[in-house]
Structure 1
């Protein structure tokens, strides 16, 4: 299939990704058609298939890319110090990384149900790697006596759920700065796990 005159794959591909993220986050995956994505980008619907085989592949790739970026950014972070220092950095990292990507976060959590079983398994595996990083911190703190946690898996899920709440209400220029919000959340997380 010939590319539309004036179309450039290095421009059109990212524009398709941006449009899909925006539309899936605003309307939900099931309500968005490939035709709507194409219209938003300004290309013919058929041109999308030069970039993705179908809508499911597009959703999967968006979610996979988000999780891989998250894991890579976390792994690049300083991991030194005791469990409390590491947990403090995790809290700040999670809040700041996710606040920069609210639509991707929304899709990563709300559209899991729309993945095919095979795609779901792959995305869940990536999510589990991130959760395991936090659980490892909590387990280390539990073993060293810094944290009093009866079940590190439940504590992991509770901490992530608490941190994800920031994405639903925080607005730049609000009553608290991001540094202040991060400090409040760190205080809540610390108190919830400390012996």
Structure 2
């Protein structure tokens, strides 16, 4: 059945997508029913199909949109002609800030791959690899130009992405450290791990401060 069009339909579809993100992040995809979703946005259960094709397709759309928007936002923020060290600092800053603002989407993107069909999973994994390729290109440029120590760029990419994304699972704006403090720490960890000589004099945070 075709989706409802027009401004009202578009707003309803947006509300459904937002509610789905909330419910999936909180309860998990398998636990969320379309009846729950319809009730959350004030629709009759049968009316939900005017705005979405299937529950499975809704998850695919949410995950694909998250990755496509992430890739586009990074490419807009990146400075391809800059020193690889500056680009890497920029990537760390961008990745953490972007994901801090979308913690629920991060949970879904990382935990609900298991809920996708094989074809949908391959498509979403492909988008992830595209984004990871952006970081890998920075690392390889830095290694080639002598800014970073020789290392396996694939392993380094996976390690950095895992570390940066992992922050989003425990970060709270009410924590002891500010977003800027956390980003500064991760810049030192990433650049120091690759070269031992991170740029600048980032603010030193005592280890006793612990996690955020």
Report TM bin, short chain. Answer: over 0.9
Contact map agreement 1:135 1:153 (CA 8 A) in 2: yes
**SS at structure 2 position matched to 1:72:** helix
Mapped partners of 1:164, 1:31: distance in 2: 25
1-structure distance, mates of 2:174, 2:33: 35
- TM normalised by structure 1 equals 0.94
Structure 2 portions without partners, runs of 5+: 197-212
Q: Deviation of residue 173 (structure 1)?
A: 3.5
State the SS of the aligned residue for 2:30.
helix
Report the Cα offset of residue 174 of structure 1.
Answer: 2.2
Q: Deviations over 1:47-94 (max 9, x none)?
A: 111111110000000001101110110110141311110000000000
Separation in structure 1 between the aligned mates of residue 150 and residue 9 of structure 2, nearest angstrom: 50
- Secondary structure of 1:133's aligned partner: helix
Q: 4+ runs of 1 displaced by more than 2 Å?
A: none
Query: What residue ranges of structure 1 are gaps of 5+ in the alignment?
Result: none
1:141-160 equivalences in 2 (<5 Å) = 141-160=142-161
Partners of 2:107 and 2:169 within 8 A in 1: no
- Measure how far apart 1:163 and its partner are: 0.4
Shift of 1:45: 1.3
The structure carrying a bigger helix percent of its residues is: 1
Aligned to 2:177: 176
Would you say the 8 A contact 1:23–1:32 is kept in 2?
yes
Partner of 2:191: 190
What is the match of residue 29 of structure 1?
29
Q: Which residue of the partner structure matches residue 42 of structure 1? A: 42
